[in-house]
A and B are shown apart, each in its own frame.
Chain A
Amino acid sequence: GAGVSQTPSNKVTEKGKYVELRCDPISGHTALYWYRQSLGQGPEFLIYFQGTGAADDSGLPNDRFFAVRPEGSVSTLKIQRTERGDSAVYLCASSLLVDVSTDTQYFGPGTRLTVL
């Protein structure tokens, strides 16, 4: 079956612009996660959805970042007034989350965001 997909694969924007990044999780996965990976670093947690609701958004760096998952499937990460420091690879993952101890998150290929 299809894995997690993310669009676009690359996004170049200018400082101050608004961007949207999309994630299509694996069908049937109720849990969805967004991470940000800066160059030379491991992914860092941004936000977690269980179904349609944001169960934990404590990783969002500030109020310029927002994410939605209106129908419990596709999710969109929205960044307002982009800054050069927002440049990174944004990764999406999904999982079934039946049992945390055995749960595996499946990752998409990521969106590389470059803010000029």
Chain B
Amino acid sequence: KQEVTQIPAALSVPEGENLVLNCSFTDSAIYNLQWFRQDPGKGLTSLLLIQSSQREQTSGRLNASLDKSSGRSTLYIAASQPGDSATYLCAVRTGANNLFFGTGTRLTVIP
């Protein structure tokens, strides 16, 4: 069974700092990898989707990379802002109905 691990579990940084969130997965047979954001009491919002044939995707201050062979992905957030405070979840898609999530990294950006 696919297992997804995220490190660190929690992270606190001062505003303006660049940061990296890590995700690892055990089975490289994936269709894609997604990064989601979850705010307290709310659902998940998709941030970036990287297909298995791609190496990275960028959206604004966010950049996600994928190394499928080593089972790793990183989410880079540039110039962090207090509004970036949320839990970030990594998920890998292994089939039409198989989306496996990590336990998330809780990010706090201090003004």
Contacts and interface: CB of A to CB of B under 8 A. Distances in A.
Contacts of B32: 100-103
A111 to B, nearest CB: 11
Interface residues of A, number: 28
A105 B32 CA distance: 12
Interface in B36-71: 36, 41-46, 49, 51-53
Contacts of A100: 31-32, 93, 95-96
Nearest to B106: A40
Given A48-B96, A55-B97, A101-B51, A42 B4 contact: yes
Interface in A41-66: 41-45, 48, 50, 55-56
B34 interface: yes
Contacts of B95: 100
A104 B34 contact: yes
Interface of A: 4, 31, 33, 40-45, 48, 50, 55-56, 91, 93, 97, 100-110, 112
29 contacts: A31-B97, A33-B97, A33-B99, A40-B103, A42-B89, A42-B101, A45-B97, A45-B99, A45-B100, A55-B96, A91-B43, A91-B44, A100-B31, A100-B93, A100-B95, A100-B96, A101-B32, A101-B51, A101-B93, A104-B34, A104-B46, A106-B46, A107-B43, A107-B45, A108-B43, A109-B41, A109-B43, A110-B43, A112-B41
